[in-house]
Chain A
Amino acid sequence: MVGVTVDLVTCDELSFPQVAAMIRTLGVERVFDGDRVAVVADHETPARDLVSAEHMKATRVFASEFEIGHLLDAGEAGIVHVVVPERGLVSPGEIMAGYDSHVLTAGALGAFAVGIGATDTAVAMAFGELWLRVPESVRIVVDGEPRPWTTPKDVGLQIVARLGQAGCLYQAIEYDGAYPASLAMDGRFTLVNMSIEIGAKSAAIEPDAIALDYLQGRGARISEPVWADAGASYAATHVFDVEGLAPMIALPSAPDSGVPVSEVAGKHVDQVFLGTCTNGRLTDLRVAAAVLRGRRVHPGTRLVIIPGSPEVFRLALAEGLVQIFADAGAVIGPPGCGPCAGLHMGVLAGGEVGLSTSSRNFPGRMGSPESLLYLAGPAVAAATAVAGEIAGPEEVVGTRPPKEIAVSVRGRVE
């Protein structure tokens, strides 16, 4: 067990009222360092009902009184795990902690990022301190060239399926191998984000030129990247060869139930949701647009698209992606978590079948306990929306995506 000083503490707006009450109990007059504290509206923004409206109002007052440096609300609201890297709030080698299980996403930049609870968050915001059990380290080595439409999400679903929901419980993952190194940042965030679904404490990819380029111009603190020594020992090394891997889908109701899409092709889907901290970035929207361009959402199916952040939304507008989605008949929501946790903008009714690009589909996750939820990547999501039943992009569009899609997914195309 160790105590550490944190470089950044984050919280979403839905959870913040309980954290704020505890900060008051702790008797401090302001947070430990306003520039290192972020409260980001994402779960129920804009306010979905009177309760969330009152909570957000109190949060604005609290943030001003306790000198919280980053309160991101309204036009600045977006999924905390997308927004934090975009705004350069965390740097390689730093320690970040936040009240949400997907906080580990920032590990894609080589930060040590961990999800914590409400009490942890209150104490860390008040004093900048956090207790940690030093985790075992494991390596996940991914090599090989998957099929052209296979995205980092599909690779992630394959890893989760093989290792299982508790496969890396309490462990710190280091991703290694040619595949993670070849990904642009969006795909790296997706891969690292899904590590929570195998129980990991944190996950990271070695910060290289792609990571440092991403942070350029985002105002990030200059930090000292930290990485494993050559010859470091690991509790385990898991090797994945994704050569020829076809697009994947996780079955209801566990993230580790992934199978090739072809095994369940043809099953009716009531609603497809594209977005979340797993797949709500520009690359994901580009992949979906490549499928939806010139096509229509099937009349028996709804498509909900929610960009992860205002930056993603603006870039998607500028590239014409939003036009493609609107022309296809999709519903487009404001940046945030959307229905992922069963809260806002498109939850599922009893008996409905959903397909989501999020990372988890536990029973009742997206609404009714009687709903069923599949998980897939943006290409399968868009293809399914067009077909009205589970379908792969190869069947809907053809075997190869346009070249610019491959370039967007992969930072380096050999």
Chain B
Amino acid sequence: MILGGRAVKIGDHVSTDQILPGRYMSLTDAEELGRHALEGLDPEFSSRISPGDILVAGVNFGTGSSREQAPQALRAAGFPAILAASFARIFFRNCINIGLPVLWSPQASEGISDGDLLKIDTTTGAILDETNGASFDTSPMPGFVASITEMGGLIPYALSRSGKRLFETEGERTG
């Protein structure tokens, strides 16, 4: 999938408590979640962004709580993909599991400025900063993880397996 959008930059170690404060965790309406996205970082955040913008975070993005409402809120706020210098692991897998493409690149996070126009190929992991001309390569997701994102998340993926083992794997463990 090729995505184009304006970069919205935020800093390092932004936690899920800032992405979606705990008091909104019982919200179930996507639109409402989206209105509170990153409210803990900047109360006016949702008024600064437009649908299609690409979030560009620093290191350890999504640290802290495992709440899946955090990536859900970011998607509902209109981000079609998230790029970061690095991700906290539960947040990272939550993005994959809800079908929100994630790109992991310290170079791109450093080289992209707030407001730059980006073009991203979520399949190959290629990133182009059209404003300053810089390009960055990230590793595409391996194997079944790529399928999970492409199918729109782990639920559609699991439904597509219809009774088969969910994940093709070496080093399988049972019991």
Contacts and interface: CB of A to CB of B under 8 A. Distances in A.
A377 to B, nearest CB: 20
B48 interface: no
B93 A120 contact: yes
A364 interface: yes
Contact of B65 (A22, A95, A170, A341): A341
Contacts of B171: 2, 134
Contact of B155 (A119, A129, A254, A342): A119
Given A3-B172, A14-B25, A122-B155, A166 B66 contact: no
Interface secondary structure of B, over-half rule: loop
Interface string A172-205: 0000000000000000000000000001010000
Interface stretch (A110-118, A260-268, A393-401): A110-118
Given A2-B170, A25-B155, A199 B97 contact: no
Chain A interface size band reads: 35 or more
A364 B170 CA distance: 43
Given A25-B155, A117-B66, A119-B94, A199 B166 contact: no
Interface residues of B, number: 51
B142 to A, nearest CB: 6
A169 interface: yes
14 contacts: A2-B167, A3-B168, A25-B155, A25-B159, A26-B158, A101-B64, A117-B68, A119-B68, A129-B165, A166-B86, A169-B60, A362-B17, A362-B64, A363-B15
A53 B160 CA distance: 35
A15 B67 contact: yes
A131 B68 contact: no
B47 interface: no
Interface of B: 13, 15, 17-18, 21-23, 25-26, 28, 40-41, 43, 59-60, 63-69, 86, 88-90, 93-94, 97-98, 142-145, 148, 153-155, 158-159, 165-175
Interface of A: 1-5, 7, 14-15, 17-18, 22, 25-27, 51-52, 55, 95, 99-101, 103, 115-120, 122-123, 126-127, 129, 131, 134, 165-166, 169-170, 199, 201, 254, 341-343, 360, 362-365, 369
Contacts of B155: 22, 25-26, 119, 122-123
A66 B18 CA distance: 34
B18 to A, nearest CB: 6
A369 B40 contact: yes
Contact of B63 (A2, A166, A364): A166
B38 to A, nearest CB: 12
B23 A362 contact: no
Contacts of A254: 13
Given A25-B159, A26-B158, A99-B68, 6 more contacts: A4-B173, A7-B175, A116-B66, A131-B93, A166-B88, A254-B13
